[in-house]
Amino acid sequence: FKGGDISAIFGGGKLDLRDAKVHKDGAKLTINAIFGGVEVLVPKDCKIVTSGTGVMGGWESKIASRETKSPVLEITGTAIFGGVEVKE
């Protein structure tokens, strides 16, 4: 997995990456939820870095700190009147 973009507008989605192999150089995923929601399930064998903004919405990461240093999966984006949840 090298990354990608997800947009949920007036709807929702679920992305299951638990069995994905993150590229050795890392990956970047951008999520934008507007009046909708996105749930992302991440793999256990990589470091997860999240940075999102909620505007009248929520951005939540339920990932515990991990000792592994690489590869890194960076998840960024915005939730406007919607929500993004990142979990294992």
- At 16-52, the pLDDT tens digits run 999 999 999 999 999 999 999 999 999 999 999 999 9
pLDDT the model gives residue 6: 95
8: closest CA among 31, 24, 29, 41?
A: 31
CA distance 50 to 60: 9
Residue 43 near residue 86 (C-beta atoms within 8 A): no
Q: How confident is the model at residue 57 (pLDDT cuts 50, 70, 90)?
A: very high
